[in-house]
Structure 1
């Protein structure tokens, strides 16, 4: 990967859609109960700092689209099942994790559960500007 100029943790995100033969609930259960126990040792080995699973149930996204869609008709509303956030020490950590043989074991059932071609990934830096109702990281 290209040289990273900033010396701070990297946020790596990925959205996942489930395979349609599985319910949203079964999909999230697979991630939490089957995938994560296999993935956690790989994360520890490569120094992954944080992992968060942002679950986006269809009923909540549908209600949001109904409520806000009229106010913002040009907005496109996401319909993926979850959004995964990793906080990593370096961009290279992504490659290190994904090339680890134990990672291959952790994702062995992925094709059955995840609609892989629809995944959307991104990497960047996160800066909070409001924490616990208090402004932070702003000059005024």
Structure 2
């Protein structure tokens, strides 16, 4: 009788322990995904960003543009890679701008479209991460 009661108590103790471990694991996993999904701080954004200095190029037609960018990557390795690919980034920007008319860049929608196209093209090149956001930091249309 004593052995049977002892065995039942031992099984219950193990079951409660396993349930406790399971709860701890689930809580930790939920916290890990919360950390991964949080927005980066401005310091983290600046640390992972690359500046593309002012580029002057012709647009489709007789107009030209002076424009500069800051490109946000998803981490330090991606930033280092993008810094090495600076000439390729400039090539993408100049090539894309040569297809655009002044009227297409005059408004907010045109600039946002240009940013998305540049982001897409750069992400096709990247091997060590990806471009998160492309920011136009200055723009003069003439």
**Do the two structures share a fold, i.e. TM-score over 0.5?**
no
TM-score, reference length from structure 2: 0.31
TM-score, reference length from structure 1: 0.31
Q: Which has the larger radius of gyration?
A: 2
